[in-house]
């Protein structure tokens, strides 16, 4: 039975992806609700039936009181025995089934699948964002919004059916029941309903913004805390525990203050709610007793009216909290929507085709990119890398080296000019096919918090064990991998490497990254100071491996240690976003220009000025 309801909606079903999701709340939720339309309709119907059933039971209670008053026990059973049996069967069998269907639709069909669908689609959407998009936010805050938005949306939907739909049907039914007993009994109910609606409106108007502010404050805490944990080595190295504590306290205190504002609203609401409910009980029950005293209402009417308002008294707090929870959840969704619904700005061009790689020629034609700042990056670069050529790239910090590589990988689109691979504009081919043809080893290597095997196989999913082991062997990683063990007892290639590979040394991380690129075996190879984290002995061995990897490939090697690129076919020197010099190592030394000055000033093979990513 559970499986039937759980499978009514497939949260992973194919859907049309939208690069520009709706930015209005209900339009945003409507996209996710679309697969649930039929389930929602049936659930709403059953919620109304259950509410009507509850009202009917209270009305039937009044009928029983009147029957007891009119007849003795023997006469009662003789005249109404069959009716009592049918009522008992309804309560024992039909009512539980109707209730079960309603609850199963909510708890098994909607809640797990609705949240899963939102989380799955949101994660897919966010993964498609550009590198630059991620660089402008905290990873922890992004993840927090992906995690908190789905349950908030699920809670909002749950309240619609479990509380709001039920309560509306219940109040309407209560009015019908009281009017049927005596139309005058509806008057105090209507007065209470107007006052209750006013209180509800007052609460809703304030709780939504307050909840959104509180949710944003919680996300800020997550962002700051995760930032500290992710950089724990820096925190400890610079003895900044107190600074990080104060930095987190500032966000925590803001969250406390936003929660205080939210709780003041609820406290005020509770006071007026109790006052209004007191009025409802006194007015309806008192009026019913007065009608009975005047002989215009039966004891059963008094009993039914009393039971009804006492039930409403118990429900109103629940309804108010449900409505508040509904709008509080919408506030969380609205805050999460700021991240989840952001448009994807770096997309495949309409009709983009996979890159048709042939020779490996790379051309930069008038390429400029300043990250929207008007300076820095690259400025009108013209550069051609011949098929199979090994190009060294050097320059001071901010000269544009990393920008050139990021544009080649299409992490950004150039502000002007174009980049061609085998005559194909990289902005006109699919991003995945472009990056599949480029292998890159970065200076600052971050590994996934998974096993060594999974990290190496990331270079080529589906590669067999033998090829994976061969890649590790060529990267000089086999020996240290054999000695790895994690806290759960996994060893060797099954050992987890920790978040960003923190359990490994810099040299170990770099060798696993090199093994991953060796396994990928892409025809274009980009090396961003690939051996900077290795000691001299291992570096010499890895350097030979890298030279072996370069055979038959088009290579771009960014170097700070000039000795590592002396054997390149050509060296290009960037300065302030322009090509300052180019030629072989010997030619550039003989020219006595910028490269020669770098070479003279280098200490242990490094450029004299520290280089950072631009």
pLDDT for the residue numbered 535 = 66
pLDDT surpasses 60 at 101: yes
| Tokens describing residue 23 | 């930015």
Contact, 224 vs 248, CB < 8 A? yes
Residue given tokens 């660089």 in the structure block: 135
Tokens of 10: 């497939």
d(CA 273, CA 325): 16
Closest CA to 459 of 523, 501, 512, 517: 517
> pLDDT tens digit string along 409-441?
999 999 999 999 999 999 999 999 999 999 998
Distances (CA, A) of 76 to 58, 201, 315: 20, 48, 33
Residues 32 and 157: their CA atoms lie apart, in Å, by 11
- Is the confidence at residue 111, as pLDDT, over 80? yes
Residue count of the chain:
614
CA gap 576, 578 in Å, rounded: 6
Half-sphere exposure of 608 (CA within 13 A, CB side): 9
Q: How confident is the model at residue 280 (pLDDT cuts 50, 70, 90)?
A: confident
Which of 140-144, 271-275, 294-298, 517-521 has the weakest average pLDDT?
294-298
Query: Contact 409/440 with Cβ under 8 angstroms?
Result: yes
In 3D space, the residue among 110, 121, 116, 120 whose CA is nearest the CA of residue 6 turns out to be: 110
Instruction: Compute CA distances 373 → 142, 370, 577, 579, whole Å.
Output: 25, 6, 13, 20
% residues pLDDT > 90 (the chain): 32
pTM above 0.85, yes or no: no
CATH number of the domain at 22-340, please?
1.20.1560.10
- Domain ranges in the chain? 22-340, 355-437+522-614, 447-516
The per-residue pLDDT for 143 is 84
The position carrying tokens 């060798």 is 511
**Tokens at residue 503, please?**
């359990």
Identical topology for domains 355-437+522-614 and 447-516: yes
Residue 365 backbone phi and psi in degrees, to 5: -115, 105
Cα 358 from chain centroid? 39
Q: CB neighbours of 353 closer than 8 A, spacing ≥ 6?
A: 428, 429, 430
Residue labelled with tokens 């170990």:
508
Q: Which residue, 226, 151, 579, 532, is CA-closest to 380?
A: 579
pLDDT tens-place string over residues 433-475: 999 999 998 877 778 888 999 999 999 988 999 999 999 998 8
Distance from C-alpha of 320 to C-alpha of 309, rounded to nearest angstrom: 16
Residue 382, classed as helix, strand or coil, is strand
With beta carbons less than 8 A apart as the criterion, state whether 280 and 306 touch.
no
**pLDDT, average across residues 486-508:** 86
Give the residue-averaged pLDDT of 204-228.
Answer: 82
Position 610 scores a pLDDT of 44
Query: Percentage of residues in the chain with pLDDT exceeding 70?
Result: 95
How many other C-beta atoms can be found within 10 angstroms of the C-beta atom of residue 205?
A: 12
Q: Which CATH class is domain 447-516?
A: alpha beta
Q: Residue 145: what pLDDT?
A: 84
The DSSP code for 370 is -
Q: Kindly compute the dihedral angle of the four CA atoms of residues 45, 48, 54, 57, in this order, to the nearest 10 degrees.
A: -80
E strands, 206-286, in order:
none
Backbone angles phi, psi at 570, to 5 degrees: -150, 145
Answer whether residue 27 shows pLDDT above 50. Answer: yes
How many Å apart are CA 162 and CA 167, to the nearest integer?
8
pLDDT at 434: 95
Look at residues 438, 178, 166 and name the one whose alpha carbon lies nearest to residue 297: 178
* Contact between 363 and 387 (Cβ < 8 Å): no
Per-residue confidence band for 495, with pLDDT thresholds at 50, 70 and 90: very high
CA distances for 514 relative to 88, 115, 457, 477, 542, angstroms: 75, 39, 12, 9, 9
What pLDDT score was predicted for residue 494? 93
- pLDDT value, residue 607: 54
Q: What is the pLDDT of residues 369-405, one digit of tens each?
A: 998 776 678 989 999 999 999 999 998 888 888 899 9
CA dihedral 436, 441, 443, 449 (to 10 degrees): 80
What is the Cα–Cα distance from 316 to 308, expressed in whole angstroms?
12
Indicate the average pLDDT of the chain. Answer: 85
Edge-to-edge strand ranges of the sheet holding 378-385: 378-385, 362-369, 416-421, 424-425
Q: Is 162:322 a contact under the CB 8 Å cutoff?
A: yes
> Rounded to an integer, what distance in angstroms lies between the CA atom of residue 56 and that of residue 72?
24
**Is the separation of the CB atoms in 368 and 378 below 8 Å?**
yes
Cα–Cα dist 566/604, whole Å: 14
Report how far residue 326's alpha carbon sits from residue 605's, in angstroms, rounded to the nearest whole number. Answer: 63
The CATH superfamily assigned to 355-437+522-614 is P-loop containing nucleotide triphosphate hydrolases (3.40.50.300)
pLDDT band at residue 17 using 50, 70 and 90 as cut-offs:
confident
- Residue whose C-alpha is closest to residue 585's, from 605, 612, 603, 610: 605
Asked whether 174 and 59 are in contact (CB, 8 A), the reply is no
Sorting pLDDT into bands at 50, 70 and 90, what band is 613? very low
Helices and strands (DSSP H and E) totals, the chain: 22, 10
Average pLDDT estimate for 208-224: 82
């Amino acid at each position: 039975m559970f499986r039937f309801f759980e499978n009514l909606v497939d949260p992973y079903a194919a859907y049309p992806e939208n690069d520009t999701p709706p930015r209005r709340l209900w339009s945003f939720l409507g996209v996710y609700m679309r697969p649930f339309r039929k389930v929602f309709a049936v659930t709403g119907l059953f919620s109304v039936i259950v509410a009507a059933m509850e009202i009917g039971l209270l009305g039937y209670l009044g009928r029983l009181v009147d029957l007891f008053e009119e007849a003795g026990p023997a006469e009662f059973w003789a005249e109404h025995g069959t009716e009592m049996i049918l009522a008992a069967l309804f309560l024992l069998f039909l009512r539980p089934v109707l209730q079960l269907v309603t609850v199963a639709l909510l708890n098994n069909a909607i809640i797990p699948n609705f949240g899963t669908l939102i989380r799955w689609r949101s994660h897919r959407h966010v993964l498609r964002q550009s590198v630059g998009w991620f660089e402008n936010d905290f990873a922890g805050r992004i993840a927090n919004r992906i995690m908190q938005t789905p349950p908030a949306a699920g809670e909002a939907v749950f309240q619609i059916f479990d509380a709001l739909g039920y309560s509306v049907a219940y109040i309407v039914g209560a009015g019908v029941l009281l009017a049927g007993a005596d139309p005058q009994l509806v008057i105090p109910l209507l007065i209470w309903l107007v006052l209750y609606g006013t209180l509800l409106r007052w609460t809703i108007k304030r709780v939504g913004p307050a909840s959104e502010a509180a949710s944003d404050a919680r996300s800020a805490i997550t962002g700051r805390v995760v930032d500290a944990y992710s950089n724990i080595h820096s925190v400890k190295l610079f003895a900044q525990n107190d600074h990080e504590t104060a930095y987190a306290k500032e966000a925590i205190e803001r969250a406390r203050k936003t929660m205080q504002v939210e709780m003041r609203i609820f406290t005020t609401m509770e006071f007026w709610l109790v006052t209004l409910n007191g009025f409802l009980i006194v007015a309806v029950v008192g009026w019913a007793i007065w009608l009975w005293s005047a002989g215009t209402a039966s004891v059963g009417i008094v009993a039914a009216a009393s039971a009804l308002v006492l039930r409403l008294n118990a429900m109103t707090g629940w309804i108010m909290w449900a409505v508040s929870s509904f709008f509080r959840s919408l506030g969380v969704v609205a805050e999460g929507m700021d991240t989840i619904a952001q448009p994807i700005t770096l997309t495949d061009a309409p009709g983009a085709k996979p890159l048709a790689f042939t020779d490996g020629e790379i051309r930069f034609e008038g390429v400029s990119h300043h990250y929207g700042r008007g300076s820095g990056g690259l400025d009108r670069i013209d550069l051609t890398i011949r098929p199979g050529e090994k190009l060294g790239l050097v320059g001071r910090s901010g000269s544009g080296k990393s920008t050139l590589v990021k544009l080649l990988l299409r992490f950004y689109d150039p502000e002007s000019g174009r980049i061609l691979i085998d005559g194909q504009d990289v902005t006109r081919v699919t991003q995945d096919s472009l990056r599949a043809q480029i292998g890159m080893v970065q200076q600052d290597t971050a590994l996934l918090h998974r096993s060594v095997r999974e990290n190496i196989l990331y270079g080529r999913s589906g590669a067999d064990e033998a090829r994976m082991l061969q890649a590790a062997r060529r990267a000089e990683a086999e020996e240290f991998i054999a000695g790895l063990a994690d806290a759960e007892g996994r060893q060797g290639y099954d050992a987890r490497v920790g978040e960003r590979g923190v359990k490994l040394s810099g040299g170990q991380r770099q060798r696993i990254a090199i093994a991953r690129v060796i396994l990928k075996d892409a025809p274009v190879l980009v090396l961003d100071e690939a051996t900077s984290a290795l000691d001299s002995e291992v570096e010499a061995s890895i350097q030979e491996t890298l030279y072996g990897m370069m055979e038959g490939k088009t290579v771009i090697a960014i170097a700070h240690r000039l000795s590592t690129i002396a054997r390149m076919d050509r060296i290009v020197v960037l300065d302030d976003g322009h090509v300052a010099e180019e030629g072989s190592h010997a030619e550039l030394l003989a020219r006595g220009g910028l490269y020669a000055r770098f070479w003279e000033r280098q200490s242990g093979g490094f450029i004299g000025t520290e280089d950072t990513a631009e």
